[in-house]
Structure 1
Amino acid sequence: MSASHPRVLMDATAVPPDRRGVGRYVDSLLPELGRLGTPLLIACRAEDARHYESLCPSADILPGPAQIGRRPARLAWEQTGLARLVAKTNADVVHSPHYTQPLAVRRPIVVTLHDATFFTHPDVHERVKRLFFTNWTKLSLRRATRCIVPSAATRDELVRVLGTREDRIDVVHLGVDEEVFHRPTSDEIAAARRHLELADRPYIAFLGTLEPRKNLSSLIRGFANAVRGRADKPALVLAGGQGWDDSLDALIAGLPAGVDVLRPGFLPLELLRGYLGGAQFVAYPSLGEGFGLPVLEAMACAAPVLTTPVLSLSEVGGDAVEYTGTDPDSIGTAIAALLDNPSRRRELATLGLSRAAEFSWHSAAVRHQEIYAQVGRFQR
């Protein structure tokens, strides 16, 4: 036991190979916890061991067996192998960062629940995924010592929908990686443009998984309405991994000539700030988010942002973003207004930089450390 902090075993085996989602959360949080002096043990996939050794030099790395690279095997191992691993360690607290938890562990457990839209917006999730995460959310809210959520909106929805006691859920806002997401240089913007083969053409950016929850069908329809008849039409660039929204192909194929929607897939991390900061603005008309990290990251890159006031997005954007409804007509009207108002875009860029500075992974790590101390019955 540390003189001032409990030893925390972080289960990083849920981090996917592309490191998005929970990977961004875990990989951003752990180094800050290490810098704060939290004694860390990190359970991870064998292929991630060197990654975590370099990310957290002071941590004890505990690689799992090779077969947990497959999700069903990982979930089974979590209930058996991880529980045995915890029993062999001197961990005071176990942190399960992605909904599930080892039920047989007899030590304080903290579980992070990232999203309530599996309950509030079930139609935008695949049925298997929805059932899995709703069941585990209910179970973790009953069994975990404490649960962490990334926004007050997520906490409030879980309390409303499930009747969970509010005092069992801790809100910890996510942060922004300032080394990756900051105002880009002109060379970085040019590099992103070359990668996208945009030359000097203006563009509107989206960043995220291409899935129904992101409301991309409405974005595309609204964009087409907004640029119709314009001489200098911007492109709409939808960057991110392909989700399960199978309506986009036909929708894009049916667009009029000159209304261009590009789908470059994943962009390399080093191109993201040039991509976001080089856009006329970033459009993120989501139907609901647990937090909305792309909005925060866009603001940190001095990009004006257009988003919706649904669930957590207004909690993140505050007064530093432009808001729209979720329907195509509202989105189209908002896009046209921003295209016609360069001074408003400049104002949003300035406001966004100040707003993004209020969110940091250091602050998130401090709050996590406080929660670990509370559940481990330690005094700070």
Structure 2
Amino acid sequence: MRVLLDATAVPADRGGVGRYVDELVPELLRAGVDLVLAVQQRDVDHYGRIAAGARIEAAPAATERRPVRMLWEQTGLPALVRSVGADVLHSPHYTMPVRAGVPVVVTLHDATFFTTPELHLRSKAVFFRSAIRGASRRAAALVVPSRATRDEVLRLVGGDADRFHVAYHGVDHGLFRPTSVEQQAAVRASLDIGDAPYVGFLGTLEPRKNVSALIRAWVRACEDRTDPPALVLAGGRGWDTQIDDAIAQVPDHLVVRRPGYLPLEDLPAFLGGATVLAYPSLGEGFGLPVLEAMACGATVLTTRMLSLPEVGGDAVAYSGTDDASIATELTSLLDDPARRTDLAGRAVERAQGFTWAEAARTHVAAYEAAVRARR
């Protein structure tokens, strides 16, 4: 079975779908998949390094522009399916050709475009709702990263439950693991917080991540402490306009850092070095930062929204999504080192059960099911 995986939707910063594709591809090859990758020209060398054994096909340079890529998906991608002799097409980011010529497997990462459209840019919410509806009707098989995502899509869009395959994301245990005191100190120095403890956050600063509520909760939990932890908001700037307003209200004696993207090699020490890693999201299809933080031995505070309890289980702490609830749970964790130690140990153990090898096996099952459905 030859699978053509369309990686042309991977952004230049490799966020989101990029992390998913980059981690999945090597494991698909190890699982014996005859893999062809359609990639942006800028990514030819990258996939040549991480996907040795795959056939690499570069899309036209113009597909770097989203409108051109969407047109190419409908015309050039089906032509590529025919030319490489693919048995299955895997579209890993919601959209698919209307006429691919072979069974198509589509990955749907979350359903929040339906449940909380106000937390997305309006144009994105409209576009991805349409894409999810189309994939739910036409795809031979659908891959989702959690049971919560599957259930939400079925509830909101309908479809055949048998076509859904739940493939939990994995974690690179070679990279994301507990780090030394020295490694953590080096990251603190790069963040310009010295020896100060900190509450960390990792993710795009978008409304869905609920960062403005986290800022206000951190102020409530820390403003009267003699040694208050800093707040470090790592990740892309995003489009949450409330964050600047929330930071403007932070008392002068409290420290906030927004370092932007951190180097990948710094993430384990950043996550594991946080006194608490807070991720008060309003809804996730999976929640990879939570899993990666768990693998690094972090004490994680998150919410029970959508998929997050599937990831965290009993190895993380939970709060509501409002300022007061986040502040209460954050205060409890900051005041209880023994509980933090217990959660950190359980988190490392639980994270061991999430692997990209297992995710790849589920994808292979989806490919095989798609072929059977076509027959």
TM normalised by structure 1 equals: 0.97
**Structure-1 separation of matches of 2:129 and 2:175:** 33
How much is the aligned-residue C-alpha RMSD, in angstroms?
1.0
Identity %: 54
* 1:64 alignment counterpart: 59
Q: By how many angstroms is 1:88 displaced?
A: 1.1
**Structure-2 separation of matches of 1:162 and 1:38:** 31
* 2:340 alignment counterpart: 345
**Structure-1 separation of matches of 2:8 and 2:68:** 11
Task: Give the partner amino acid of 2:176.
Answer: F
* 1:32 alignment counterpart: 27
- 1:207-356 aligned within 5 A: 207-356=202-351
Instruction: Structure 1: state its 5+ residue gaps.
Output: 1-5
Out of 91, 96, 104, the residue aligned to residue 99 of structure 2 is 104
**Structure-2 separation of matches of 1:315 and 1:333:** 23
Task: Give the partner amino acid of 2:165.
Answer: D
* 1:3 alignment counterpart: none
Task: Give the partner amino acid of 1:258.
Answer: H
**Structure-2 separation of matches of 1:247 and 1:149:** 31
Q: By how many angstroms is 1:164 displaced?
A: 2.3
Task: Determine if the alignment matches structure 1 residue 202 to structure 2 residue 167.
Answer: no
Task: Give the partner amino acid of 2:327.
Answer: G
* 1:127 alignment counterpart: 122
Task: Determine if the alignment matches structure 1 residue 114 to structure 2 residue 109.
Answer: yes
Q: How many residues were matched structurally?
A: 373
Three-state SS of the structure 2 residue aligned to 1:218 is helix
* 2:86 alignment counterpart: 91
Task: Answer with 175-184 or 106-115: which moved more.
Answer: 175-184
* 2:146 alignment counterpart: 151
Three-state SS of the structure 1 residue aligned to 2:118 is helix
**Structure-1 separation of matches of 2:131 and 2:330:** 39
**Structure-2 separation of matches of 1:245 and 1:370:** 38
Three-state SS of the structure 2 residue aligned to 1:283 is strand
Q: By how many angstroms is 1:352 displaced?
A: 0.2
* 1:46 alignment counterpart: 41
Q: By how many angstroms is 1:367 displaced?
A: 1.1
Name segments (4+ residues, structure 1) moved above 3 Å.
none
* 1:169 alignment counterpart: 164
* 1:75 alignment counterpart: 70
Q: By how many angstroms is 1:26 displaced?
A: 0.3
Residues 141-169 of structure 1 show CA distances to partners (whole Å, capped at 9, x for unaligned) of: 10111111100000111111122222221
Task: Determine if the alignment matches structure 1 residue 17 to structure 2 residue 4.
Answer: no
Q: By how many angstroms is 1:371 displaced?
A: 1.5
**Structure-1 separation of matches of 2:28 and 2:280:** 33
**Structure-2 separation of matches of 1:148 and 1:85:** 22
Instruction: Structure 2: state its 5+ residue gaps.
Output: none
Three-state SS of the structure 1 residue aligned to 2:14 is coil
Three-state SS of the structure 1 residue aligned to 2:368 is helix
**Structure-2 separation of matches of 1:164 and 1:28:** 28
Q: By how many angstroms is 1:377 displaced?
A: 3.0
Task: Determine if the alignment matches structure 1 residue 367 to structure 2 residue 362.
Answer: yes
Q: By how many angstroms is 1:187 displaced?
A: 2.5
Residues 32-84 of structure 1 show CA distances to partners (whole Å, capped at 9, x for unaligned) of: 11111111000001111111111111111001111111111111111111111
Residues 273-305 of structure 1 show CA distances to partners (whole Å, capped at 9, x for unaligned) of: 010011101000000000000000000000010
TM normalised by structure 2 equals: 0.98
**Structure-1 separation of matches of 2:214 and 2:166:** 30
Q: By how many angstroms is 1:102 displaced?
A: 1.4
Verify the 8 A CA contact 2:283 2:305 in the aligned structure 1. yes
* 1:191 alignment counterpart: 186
Residues 309-349 of structure 1 show CA distances to partners (whole Å, capped at 9, x for unaligned) of: 11000010000000000000000011111000000000010
Verify the 8 A CA contact 2:184 2:273 in the aligned structure 1. yes
Verify the 8 A CA contact 2:296 2:348 in the aligned structure 1. yes
Q: By how many angstroms is 1:85 displaced?
A: 1.0
Task: Give the partner amino acid of 2:364.
Answer: Q
Q: By how many angstroms is 1:259 displaced?
A: 2.0
